[in-house]
Structure 1
Amino acid sequence: MKSVLSSNQLELFNPSKPSNLLWFNPKFTFVDLFSGIGGFRIALEELGGKCLGYSEIDKEAIKIYKKNFISYLNSEEVNLGDIVKLGKFPFSVDIVVGGVPCQPWSIAGKIKGLDDPRGKLWFDVIRVVAQNQPKGFIFENVKGLTEPRHRQSFELIISKLKSLGYNVKASVINSYDFGVPQDRERVFIVGVRDDLDNSESFQFPEPLHVKPKLYEFIEGIEASEVRKKKFSPDILFAGKIPASRGRFQKNDELNDFFIFTDIRDGHTTIHSWDLVRTTQREKLICKTILKNRRKKKYGLKDGNPLKFEFLDQLIPNLTAAELDKLIAKKILRYIEHKGYEFFNSKISSGINGISKIFLPNSDVIGTLTATGTRDFVATVSLDSQEPQEYKNTFIREIYRKGKYKPLSAKDYARLQGFPDLFTIADKENTAKKQFGNAVSVPVVYHIAKALVKVIL
């Protein structure tokens, strides 16, 4: 399989089809639980491992898994089926791996944890490890599993795995640190059987010294470095740097993305009143609502509809007709007995179907998910300018001219570190869902490489 990584990264991870010798003389064996479309398998086969069996119940994922991994050489390899019914394997195995379903712990789900039937699958994982006693294991889940609201469940899972006779370590790892431009944090739980002489020597790999860019991975966008200017916080944030700024946002540079929302503000925030014709008076009304909607004196929610009598105090000579015009433009809406709020009232929904547009030179794109994304990528670059002109140029030259594209399934594959020759599902949405559910292959490769050194 051809790698999508740049030349300096090829030395670190270069997935390819395993040679025929692998099937007869593997370095180690493994079982692929919750196999999905095979992200774990690509990495472990590249390290010289042989899969003895996989467990998956999703029919569409199984189709893709078989197309990519099952051939005449291993035509008898079996799908071990539903893990709930899985017990002792008909063989011994060195390593067990799997991406345990994450929805019970994800903020994108209902966060029911172990009370969710999918959360209870952790107990099946623990049972399978107990009955088969592999030399080691690697399990993956969302970062949410490690957060305070799930701390008790996380510690229980670790404790149960340790009680089976394993030295267990866990770490939250970002895919960006292992060569793909995706801000994807996942917790990896690794165990080494206690009776191995070096069971305590496993260490998670250190981040790689590579700095990927979106334009290196996504087809159809301009490959270009841009000139960066430095700005003081007084210019970018009116002197107050927001606590919410993430790892990939620099406090002295313009953001490499534009976010479409009416309920937050910032130097690269695009509001609906920036996109439709509005007067300065209408902009003032919108900005006043934006500034006051989260104040507790107007309600306990993190964003409250504002009644006319409140707005009348904040905006001189306000009339209901002015608000009605903004409703007609689908900038505001009226909630009976509560007041006025923005028509686009959820960050996740964005505006006109767009949540964010990332520039080609961005370090990362947001986390890919099975439910899809409203993130887009600009097809041309944008040099640094004064903040307001930066925003105006983006709207004029990129947004208005449609110089941006949605992520394709092939883009998803590359952003997850899958090789170019990997066969994907025919239906675009199915393929995106499968890659959103998958692991980032380079991350698994480097973790598994460290584990294999310990158990062999």
Structure 2
Amino acid sequence: MPALICCLISESVMLKSKKIETGVYAQQLELFQLFEPVNTIVVQSKFTFVDLFSGIGGFRIPLEELGGICLGYSEIDKEAIKIYQKNFIKDTNNHEIYLGDITNLNHLPFEIDVIVGGVPCQPWSIAGKLQGLEDPRGKLWLDVFRLVKNSQPKAFIFENVKGLAEPRNKASLEYIINHLTASGYVIKYQVINSYDFGLPQDRDRIFIVGIRNDLDNCWGYTFPQSLNKKIKLCDVIPGVQCSNYPKKKFPPEILYPDGKIPASRGRFQKIDELNDFFTFADIRNGHTTIHSWELIETSPKEKLICQTILRNRRKKVYGPKDGNPLKFEVLQPLIPSLKLEEVNSLVDKNILRLVEDKGYEFVNSKISSGINGISKIYLPHADAIGTLTATGTKDYVATISIECEKPEIYKQKFIQEIYLKNKYKLLTAQDYARLQGFPESFKIADNETTAKHQFGNAVSVPVVYHLAKALLKIII
């Protein structure tokens, strides 16, 4: 065996022994049941890997737990590199190579078993401009193709946003699959939700797995099945009350009396269930939407004015925008005996603002901004929080749970028992780490915003663990 690999194996064994002795880390593994029981972890190296677009190391953690040795990593974000090196590059004698910018790499300077990486996702993300392969970041796939073709690893795992798998990006996905196939690989891909692998986060990501077509059983890879482990938010976030309140079910016509069921209803927000979170927004409505006029003292007439603007602001008859200011002359026929001072009283309360020559609109007119710095408050017994993002969210978790039988008083109970009593906490960067499956011992950035950005960009650790575990059964 080459001396370099022997040395790396020795360092890996010492590192893993140290990890096993750390009680906090062992508890983290036990919580998610991601890995083998601690006393049966095999620390001998089984394979080598390269960490492309390495970020802060979401791929590396599970691969090392499976016995992998990282021979090199590539990243250009300076802040991410700092955190990566703080956690993984233990001394200056480390033989691991920093590969620099992938665009300057023609081939890897060593033979490798596995290449992994989270290729920049913005080109196919709803949060981006959806430019696909026309986006300079989308063109990084060309660098991936070159490295795979020239280095010929046994296998690879690449991750990207769910948008790459959606119909609008069908041509781009086919382009990627065809190029990787032409390089000599059997390709399989699947959209996987982090919730299915022990994390209370609704996070869909596409994973592309390739196995070199000259290997035995190269067609034998199958994506792992869901763990069927239902972890709730309170199981991961400390300092909040745990409860087993079931979701209440009601006929949709009770939850949506106007007959308009939001298009966003899905796996975690079924049309016949009360939400286990509350959204703060003046421009939307729903049985758990909190409006600013419900949080401060307002008269029945003022509430009627706000509801009227909410119902009519998106009607094309009042303008081409997806949310138009409404003039007093427009509101007057819609609200009996409306007086100008009644509308202006809502301006004084900072609920409405007058846009010159256009009319009145809500001050809190962006869902991302929420109200008073709050976008959503999740109840601690919620199944899953929304997808963590690099741009961050103004999401909070209630520190107590509430149960309510009647939808018409559910919102009011939340306002009285949780919001007005300040029974909620902001999600911290450390909470982000937990929601992504990073171990408690992981060293995060000192700046809270930077750390949240990095975890929002990261891959979910347990998902990679189970994908790679299934892959290793074939290539090792």
Deviation at 1:289?
1.1
| Residue-by-residue CA offset, 1:302-360 (whole Å, 9 max, x unaligned) | 22222222211211122222221111212112223322221111211111111100000
Deviation at 1:106?
1.5
Secondary structure in 2 matching 1:226: coil
Secondary structure in 1 matching 2:293: helix
Aligned to 2:333: 313
Secondary structure in 2 matching 1:139: strand
Matching residue within 133, 150, 165 for 2:152: 133
TM-score, normalisation: structure 2: 0.90
Indicate if the aligned counterparts of 2:58 and 2:438 stay in contact, CA closer than 8 A: yes
1:267 paired with 2:287, answer: yes
Range moving further from structure 2, 118-127 or 316-325: 316-325
Indicate if the aligned counterparts of 1:99 and 1:139 stay in contact, CA closer than 8 A: yes
Deviation at 1:363?
0.5
Aligned to 1:71: 90
Deviation at 1:149?
3.1
Q: Percent identity?
A: 65
TM-score, normalisation: structure 1: 0.94
2:245 aligned partner, one-letter code: V
Aligned to 1:381: 401
1:340 paired with 2:387, answer: no
Aligned to 2:16: none
Aligned to 1:328: 348
Aligned to 2:15: none
Q: 1:284 to 1:15 in 2, by over 3 A?
A: farther
Matching residue within 435, 440, 443 for 1:420: 440
Q: CA RMSD for the aligned pairs? A: 2.1
1:438 paired with 2:458, answer: yes
2:343 aligned partner, one-letter code: L
Aligned to 2:35: 13
Aligned to 1:118: 137
Matching residue within 234, 243, 262 for 1:224: 243
Secondary structure in 1 matching 2:123: helix
Q: 1:112 to 1:16 in 2, by over 3 A?
A: farther
Deviation at 1:443?
0.5
Measured in 2, the distance between the counterparts of 1:439 and 1:15 equals: 23
Deviation at 1:134?
0.6
Matching residue within 214, 220, 239 for 1:195: 214
Q: 1:307 to 1:38 in 2, by over 3 A?
A: same
Measured in 2, the distance between the counterparts of 1:74 and 1:445 equals: 28
Secondary structure in 1 matching 2:59: helix
| Residue-by-residue CA offset, 1:263-304 (whole Å, 9 max, x unaligned) | 111111100100111100010111111111222222233222
Indicate if the aligned counterparts of 1:15 and 1:419 stay in contact, CA closer than 8 A: no
Range moving further from structure 2, 356-365 or 81-90: 81-90
Deviation at 1:6?
8.0
1:236 paired with 2:255, answer: yes
Q: Which runs of 5+ in 2 are unaligned?
A: 1-18, 20-24
Range moving further from structure 2, 80-89 or 104-113: 104-113
Aligned to 2:192: 173
2:403 aligned partner, one-letter code: D
Q: Which runs of 5+ in 1 are unaligned?
A: none
Indicate if the aligned counterparts of 2:28 and 2:440 stay in contact, CA closer than 8 A: no
Aligned to 1:58: 77
Aligned to 1:407: 427
Measured in 2, the distance between the counterparts of 1:202 and 1:347 equals: 42
2:71 aligned partner, one-letter code: L
Q: Which has the higher contact order (CA 8 A, sep 6+)?
A: 1
1:103 aligned partner, one-letter code: Q
